[in-house]
Amino acid sequence: MQNLLRAVRWLCMGLAVIVFAGQLAMVLMRYLLGVGFVELQDAVSYSFAALVALSVTVTFDRDRHVRVDVFRQTWSEHVNLLIDRAGDLLFALPVFGLMLWTAYPLVKSSWLILEGSQETGGLPGLFVVKTCLVILPALILLIVLTRLVGAVRRSVS
């Protein structure tokens, strides 16, 4: 599991480089040379969409997601861990399970038609980016299930 998440982290870093370099190139070409490429715009858009979706799993795994905690500072580590596992069970599992269930038909139909850019002359491969809508909840569900199984094992032993 950790090797998979490490690969996702590296992929996110690569996508961030593509977004930065592509956007910089687009701005420089448009304002200095007076030209633009739809393919480059699509590459930046596709990379950004995949980066946003995949970075959710990285931050969730590292426990770096945004929290609004007023009481967390005063509670013990054990209480905070119990609250985290309850949140995983009551919120993360149902929300990301529903997301996976509803995104699958969209991604499947996108693959069936090999969906591409809506722009004339744009990049093909939008179906690959839409696959992130299934990868995101699947990875989050794996992380949550791993955490919950680990918590049960620790409580039993």
pLDDT tens per residue, range 4-48: 999 999 999 999 999 999 999 999 999 999 898 899 999 999 999
* Percent of the chain residues past pLDDT 70, beyond the cut: 100
Contacts of 130 (CB under 8 A, 6+ apart): 106, 107, 110, 115
Q: Is 66 helix (H, G, I), strand (E, B) or coil?
A: coil
Q: Is 124 helix (H, G, I), strand (E, B) or coil?
A: strand
* Token pair belonging to 122: 């744009």
Say if residues 122 and 133 touch (Cβ distance below 8 Å): no
Range(s) of the domain holding residue 146:
2-156
| pTM: predicted TM-score of the whole model, two decimal places | 0.88
How many domains does the structure of the chain reveal?
Answer: 1
